[in-house]
Amino acid sequence: MTGGCPPAPPGAGPSVVSARERDIEVLSQIIAGAFHDLAVSRWLIPDPDARRSIFPGYFGILLRHTMTAGMVSTTPQRTAAALWLPATGPTPPPGGYIGRLAEITGPFLDRFVTFETELARRHPAGVFHHHLAILAVRPDTQRQGTGTALLQAHHAAFDWQGITAYLEASDERTRGLYLRHGYADHGAPIELPDGPSMYPMVRIPILLPRSEPALVTGGVPGGHRISQADGEKGR
């Protein structure tokens, strides 16, 4: 799931660094705040107070898992997060995930299970790719090129290494933003039961001469570690 962020002027945007375990608490709050008002978030947890309480714990689980299985990128000021997972299909959840999810989401567990099941059902299979599970930018720092910087850092590595990227855009507006970043629709929209649509999208790499790009501190995303512009599970 990814959230959209309006484009910034050319050349704008901060540096991109790798997140560490000590960043989980602050980044979980960043993602929760950026995603709070998305239609899919309101479908998951209709009550805004419950959503505000539950989301940080939920995104904390995803951050911790991604740091183990993929790569989390952020800014030096920890104002955004991009969660990237290398995969050949839906990523298996960490051990004990359902129990932890039930503990955090309480009466909304069925919605979260349905949400993740529907996304997994449409996930590309059989081809190595990197999944942008989350892209979120703190609301008061949006429109400054942060989301674009997080995307472009990884796209440079993907082009160099010939790696496809995949994400689920949270709404039509965000879909339009990703189209401008080289993504294309991957089949029909994902229709949540009695809820909003999400848009699976892929980006085919632009094959470039194999000269190593300047990239994320801590290594090339295509190397192995995980990743999650403005408020989406994925942008």
Residue 5 lies in a domain: no
Residue 200 lies in a domain: yes
Does the pLDDT value for residue 10 go beyond 50? no
**pLDDT of amino acid 108:** 98
Residue 1 lies in a domain: no
pTM: 0.84
What is the CATH classification number for the domain harbouring 140? Answer: 3.40.630.30
Residue 125 lies in a domain: yes
pLDDT in tens, 42-71: 999 999 999 999 999 999 999 999 999 999
Task: Dig out the tokens for 133 from the structure.
Answer: 């599970």
Does the pLDDT value for residue 6 go beyond 70? no
Cα gap 223→86, rounded to integer Å: 9
User: How many folded domains does the chain comprise?
Assistant: 1
- Average pLDDT, integer, range 132-148: 90
Mean pLDDT of the chain: 85
Of 165, 167, 166, 163, residue with least CA distance to 207:
163
Cα gap 174→156, rounded to integer Å: 21
Tell me the residue range of the domain where 56 lies: 17-213+221-233
Does the pLDDT value for residue 212 go beyond 60? no
Contacts of 116 (CB under 8 A, 6+ apart): none
**pLDDT of amino acid 235:** 37
Q: Give whichever of 10-19, 124-133, 137-146, 218-227 has the largest mean pLDDT.
A: 124-133
Residue 182 lies in a domain: yes
Residue 9 lies in a domain: no
Compute, in degrees rounded to 10, the torsion defined by CA atoms 46, 89, 183, 228. Answer: 50
- Average pLDDT, integer, range 83-102: 91
Residue 131 lies in a domain: yes
- Average pLDDT, integer, range 79-100: 91
pLDDT band at 4 (very low <50, low <70, confident <90, very high): low
pLDDT in tens, 20-37: 999 999 999 999 999 999
Residue 11 lies in a domain: no
**pLDDT of amino acid 211:** 53
**pLDDT of amino acid 234:** 41
Cα gap 14→6, rounded to integer Å: 15
**Full DSSP string of the chain:** -EE------TT-----EE--GGGHHHHHHHHHHHHTT-HHHHHH--SHHHHHHHHHHHHHHHHHHHHHHSEEEE-TT--EEEEEEEESSSPPPPTTHHHHHHHHHGGGHHHHHHHHHHHHHTS--SS-EEEEEEEEE-GGG-SSSHHHHHHHHHHHHHHHHT-EEEEEESSHHHHHHHHHTT-EE-SSPEE-TTS-EEEEEEE------S-PPP--TTS-GGGS------SEE--
pLDDT band at 94 (very low <50, low <70, confident <90, very high): confident
Q: Which residue type does 174 have?
A: T
Does the pLDDT value for residue 223 go beyond 80? no
**pLDDT of amino acid 207:** 75
Does the pLDDT value for residue 121 go beyond 50? yes
- Average pLDDT, integer, range 63-82: 96
Contacts of 111 (CB under 8 A, 6+ apart): 43, 44, 45, 105
